[in-house]
Amino acid sequence: MTESIDDKGNEAIRHRAYMIWLDEGQPDGRAEDHWHQAVAENQEETERRDRPGSPTDQMADKPRHSPRQSATAIRSQTIANGDV
């Protein structure tokens, strides 16, 4: 089965919303806020990438990073330091 563009977009938004949830400490009752934030970030990235004169090819190959350190990275660092 092939995935449509909408499915890929929704999956990217779903993943970003999940990462925001992790970054914020997994709070209850904020799923809709996280979804809207992920949609807004996705839209901003799309507009920036599609802007005339933008380095579209360069941005498409780079991974997307949160401005904050991800919860997974923090957990990995904590475990590596033996702070568990």
Mean pLDDT value across the chain: 79
Instruction: Please count the structural domains in the chain.
Output: 1
Instruction: Determine the pLDDT at residue 52.
Output: 82
Instruction: Determine the pLDDT at residue 23.
Output: 96
Reply yes or no on whether the pLDDT at 36 is more than 80.
Answer: yes
Higher-scoring residue by pLDDT: 50, 20 = 20
Instruction: Determine the pLDDT at residue 71.
Output: 65
Domain that holds residue 61: 5-80
Instruction: Determine the pLDDT at residue 67.
Output: 52
Q: Which of 46, 39, 33 is nearest to 14 (CA)?
A: 39
Higher-scoring residue by pLDDT: 9, 5 = 9
Instruction: Measure the CA–CA gap between 68 and 40, rounded to whole angstroms.
Output: 17
Query: Model's pTM, two decimal places?
Result: 0.56
The gap from C-alpha 81 to its chain's centroid, in whole angstroms, comes to 26
